[in-house]
Amino acid sequence: MGMGLSRVAAGGAIASLAVTTVLQGVDGIALKVMVDAWAVAPAAQKEIAFHAAFAVRQVEIGLATMASLMFGITATVNGLAAAA
């Protein structure tokens, strides 16, 4: 049983790091591009650009939540594997 849990924990660690990598891409690249577009948008398009940047921010928040949950579950499964 411990060996199976160890493999699940290893898979969880890989998945957690993958989600964190996507999170960094959204935060570091996509959100910056959207905020820069909002900053230089003409007055008539400011509201649309703001809502687009806000949508990307919401995706970032969702990814951060998923990463936190995945790391927590992975740590729990890793602890169970160590105890088994």
pLDDT tens digits for range 41-69: 999 999 999 999 999 999 999 999 999 99
The pLDDT of residue 84 is: 81
Q: How far apart are CA 65 and CA 41, in angstroms?
A: 30
Residue 41 domain boundaries: 2-83
Answer positive or negative: Cα dihedral of 35, 40, 46, 48.
negative
Q: Six-digit token pair at 69?
A: 């949950």
Total domains, the chain? 1
Query: What's the predicted TM-score (pTM) here?
Result: 0.84
Measured CA angle at 9 (ends 58, 78), to 5 deg: 105
1: confidence class by pLDDT, cuts 50, 70, 90: low
Q: Of 30, 12, 11, whose CA–CA distance to 22 is shortest? A: 30
